[in-house]
Chain A
């Protein structure tokens, strides 16, 4: 092989993408998926063509095309991302990459783009089959193209999740979580594709894009996938980044700006309150989860951009350093901002007054908010060190929701929820309390708010105990800046 071979990819393409494409296109998984998809679709189309007597044959072909394509790009391709970063860490190659000009973000992004590019290749290969399917009739072009596009967008998002989590050293988190998530997605896909594609009603009606609601719905879905995808890739970058890189800052800043944007919309009374709550939740929940599991070591390189901007910069630093204690301060801040957004929408709505009152929705809202902080509180006392913070958090969170399920079943079967007060230290227990009627809603709401505030305070105090080292690093950075002018 001559060096001319090395010109097969332009210098403009990211080195990481070049590497991943060279490797990925030779990987057995991709070759098998690619060829299998072609064989299945070709056999299916010829079989359908030979027996094209039914009026429904077009929609059946659509269902089969969409199903196989969905399995390929929503399940198999994303699963290839589950070892994307961990293999680099295990192979001791991540250090060598860090010493080049590749940042952690470019490494993660390159890996994601490589898998998505191969999914795009699969997408292009099914287009001829869709064109042929058009001649069988009964095809709603816009709807099916929109569905195809959304499947691909979802594939990009799911791939971002698997690639992002692949930076986690815990096998349970890296593999089991995506696998179970993807199995659930597969189930939903099968129901949606076999049940809906090509037929009237439900999702496919929504995808016609002929109503404002439909267009906004699709736009919000795309925005959600983009935001979650970015958050997950940024998480992956944080997990493999050297301490000198601060990935928490752009990630947290994006979340704050999005919440402020939603707050702006609420002021103008644009979305309905439930839409607002959904949007705030989509932005705030992943942001808090990632911030509470940030575990980088603070080093002068990270402090420098903040410290050199004086007191404002130094203050902002406490919200945006990639450390756990900074994550706690940030999480409390964005929680309050999210609550302010939701309540301001109520206050500023055309009615001019609060309509929530002591509703069940508020209990659920504060319970879920508290549940985000709950694993962090336990982690702060149960585990020492920064290793596996994300894995511990997620496992504790899963355990919390399992507990909620058990408590709800018990409360239902016993027809008496009085025992639930034993679990009053857990914010999710208050959701279970809603099923029993002996306690007033005001008491339940007060209880969950007290628990939330207590957790905020515990975390802030625990985080404060760790600020000593951060403060010394900040002081070292200030000294160094003064020495160097």
Chain B
């Protein structure tokens, strides 16, 4: 049974189709990144999984429990960290965590112990007496994570937790997420910073216009091996860099992408390294003085843009295939 299962999920706000037939599964103990542009449907999907919103059609399950039919049970299993949340005036960090610990039903010594554990984990102890609305963004995010962890949830749903953080705070947050993943928690995290997601996540879900357009692990996505987009190579020559682009025009399955200082970036439409070696051999044979020839890893931003570009040009079907749509509400 997957930790999170979303099946043909639709959410309409009047005429706006925020989520438009989303289907995916996330196994227990994995870290899954949720990627998409603003308004793509990430937050709505996450809110439905967190029992804070309701689908127009379709179902969402947390550990096999339907979020619409049994929300109270689902809430005990999840920790929710929204993209932004206000903190209270006149309330210290310690009192803030104490309020939520009480609200979650912790009592007496157990409550104090749980707060201590969470504060130790998120390094909030030095901030215990600070008013919660006077914290920096990074501290606030740590406090938010601490609050989400108070109930010791199996699954953490985090909506843009790194947004607005400085590099140091990002590193700290990434470290905390890694530790949580090592403890076996399932983490479903959305972010705009794709490179960071790539380092943290076992898999990535790309959503566009309310639909999942890709679900795969970051490595294969970066290497391009799971796509039809080909493999990128950086080629440097001794001599006129223009010679590479001129050469590429005459070659089948080789595309010149961009010029660089002493050469350029090319794409070879093959996954087979021996075919790439053939291309290199042809270059040498044709008189190009190659000084460097190496396979480039695409970064996740490139991969995401590639996927969107292919969808727009109709080269790749949107996955999962479109299903019957609900009547307008």
Contacts and interface: CB of A to CB of B under 8 A. Distances in A.
Nearest to B153: A99
Mostly, the B contact residues are loop
Interface residues of B, number: 44
B214 interface: no
A361 interface: no
B100 A5 contact: no
Given A1-B129, A23-B91, A299-B68, A101 B80 contact: no
Interface in B182-239: none
B297 interface: no
A16 B99 CA distance: 7
A242 B29 CA distance: 29
B94 interface: yes
Interface string B56-76: 000000000000111110010
B51 A19 contact: no
Nearest to B104: A100
Interface string A232-268: 0000000000111000000000000000000000000
B296 interface: no
A95 B52 contact: yes
Given A6-B94, A19-B88, A242 B100 contact: no
Interface string B263-280: 000000000000000000
A98 B72 CA distance: 10
Contacts of A22: 90-91, 95
B128 interface: yes
Contacts of B112: 3, 6-7
Contact of B85 (A23, A93, A299): A93
Contacts of A3: 94, 112, 115-116
Contacts of A100: 75, 100, 103-105, 151
Contacts of B111: 6, 11
B115 A6 contact: yes
Given A96-B147, A297-B54, A101 B103 contact: yes
A15 B94 contact: no
A91 B133 CA distance: 11
B75 A99 contact: yes
Interface string B89-131: 1111011001110111101100110011000000000001100
Interface in A1-15: 1, 3, 5-7, 11, 15
B177 interface: no
Contacts of B52: 95, 98-99, 242
Nearest to A472: B327
Nearest to B115: A3
Contacts of A95: 47, 50, 52, 80, 82, 85
A18 interface: yes
Given A3-B115, A6-B111, A97 B86 contact: no
Contact of B94 (A1, A26, A93, A480): A1
Nearest to A28: B90
Given A242-B52, A469-B329, A92 B86 contact: yes
B14 interface: yes
B84 interface: yes
Contact of A242 (B14, B69, B71, B87): B71
B102 A18 contact: yes
B173 interface: no
B78 interface: yes
Nearest to B50: A99
A95 B80 CA distance: 9
A73 to B, nearest CB: 21
B170 to A, nearest CB: 21
B98 A6 contact: yes
B95 A243 contact: no
A300 interface: yes
Contact of B69 (A5, A6, A300): A300
Contacts of B71: 242, 244, 301
A15 B103 contact: yes
A24 to B, nearest CB: 8
A93 B90 contact: no
Contact of B102 (A15, A90, A96, A469): A15
B89 A96 contact: no
Contacts of A27: 89-90
A297 B88 CA distance: 29
Contacts of A127: none
Contacts of A23: 88-91
A16 B68 CA distance: 26
Interface string A283-312: 000000000000001011100000000000
B100 to A, nearest CB: 6
B100 A96 contact: yes
A1 B128 contact: yes
Given A22-B91, A242-B51, A92 B98 contact: no
Interface in A349-399: 384-385
Contact of A385 (B14, B86, B102, B116): B14
A98 B82 CA distance: 13
B123 to A, nearest CB: 16
A19 B75 CA distance: 22
Contacts of A19: 88, 91, 95, 99
Interface string A82-114: 000001001111011111111000000000000
A93 B133 CA distance: 13
A123 to B, nearest CB: 23
Contacts of A93: 85-88
Contacts of B105: 100-101
Contacts of B69: 300-301, 480
Contacts of A18: 98-99, 102
Nearest to B105: A101
24 contacts: A1-B92, A1-B94, A3-B94, A3-B115, A5-B94, A6-B94, A6-B98, A7-B112, A15-B103, A18-B102, A23-B89, A27-B90, A91-B87, A92-B82, A93-B87, A95-B52, A99-B50, A99-B51, A99-B78, A100-B151, A101-B105, A301-B71, A385-B14, A480-B69
Given A98-B52, A99-B51, 14 more contacts: A16-B103, A18-B99, A22-B90, A91-B87, A92-B86, A93-B85, A95-B47, A95-B52, A98-B51, A99-B75, A100-B105, A101-B103, A300-B69, A301-B70
Task: List 7 tightest A-B contacts by C-beta distance, closest first.
Answer: A91-B86, A15-B102, A100-B103, A26-B90, A15-B103, A19-B99, A11-B107
Interface of A: 1, 3, 5-7, 11, 15-16, 18-19, 22-23, 26-27, 87, 90-93, 95-102, 242-244, 297, 299-301, 384-385, 469, 480
